[in-house]
Structure 1
Amino acid sequence: MRKIFLGFVVYALAELALLIVVGQNIGVFSTLLLIIATSSIGVYVMKNKGMNSIQNVKQTMASGEAPGAALVNTLLTFSGGLLLALPGFLTDLIGLLLLMPFSRKMFQPLVYYWMRKQMKKGPFIIVQR
């Protein structure tokens, strides 16, 4: 529990320090506009790209195939959009990395590892509605 709390404190301080540095270099108004712009892009990505990815998962499942790759891409796309929607430059950087196809390949093995770990713990159920 202490490690999680410490992680949040370190993250918040790093994000705040980065906001101050960027604000001093490009100005407060420009920094706020940049944060609003990236948040708007994140909401757009979650809404449009995320829904397209969910449709791909449904089509894959409807054709009788395992939705593994489509599910991982959906998870990464939605997570990238969510991180972009959150205010801050560190979350924006990670969100952009999750959205770019060439860097998304870096994160796919981590998601597969996490999914396998969850499946070993017990039932891993994907509900189709």
Structure 2
Amino acid sequence: MSRRRSTRWVLFVLFVVVPLAELYVLIQVGQVIGAWWTILLLVLDSILGTWLIRREGGRALSALRTALESGRMPARELADGALLLVGGTLMLSPGFVTDLFGILLILPVTRPVFRRILTRVVTARLLATSLGPNAQRPGPGSDGSVVRGEVVDDS
């Protein structure tokens, strides 16, 4: 599948399927517990999300500072920050489906799973971009030509 085609599918899911799923879930919950309780549940859900973002965001910022002060590359901490940003944005959107997914991105128990997924996606994108559509990786070519030689050290 081409990159353009996969982007179209992602956009279709984000702008058509997710809002329809949100409406369906909101209607179902509203029919079971009532409209006012559904609204109250959404407000409480937002308060929980705000509290989680503040707590986990503070921890992520502290971990980032520690990594930078120790002189190591803060790849894990930056990935956590990105996941917290996306999770927090999803928590701002009214609805139970996006809130659930946002909470999964925010919780320290489930965040490592999404961090691994994010790492795979970014790595694949970087490799595809750096190699280009027709570029080959370094090493023996498809024709099998390899230059054999000997390293001579004159020291």
Q: Same fold (TM over 0.5)?
A: yes
Q: In structure 2, how many angstroms separate the alpha carbons of the residues matched to 1:108 and 1:5?
A: 22
Where relative contact order (Cα < 8 A, 6+ residues apart) is larger, the structure is: 1
Q: CA deviation at 1:66?
A: 1.2
Alignment counterpart, residue 38 of structure 1, candidates 36, 39, 45: 45
Structure 2 residues not aligned, in runs of 5+: 1-6, 131-155
State the number of aligned residues. Answer: 122
Q: Give 1:29-108 correspondences, 5 Å limit.
A: 29-108=36-115
Percent of paired sites with the same residue? 34
Q: In structure 2, how many angstroms separate the alpha carbons of the residues matched to 1:84 and 1:44?
A: 11
TM-score, with structure 1 as normaliser: 0.78
Q: Over the residues paired in the alignment, what is the CA RMSD in angstroms?
A: 2.2
Structure 1 residues not aligned, in runs of 5+: 123-129
Higher helix proportion, which one?
1
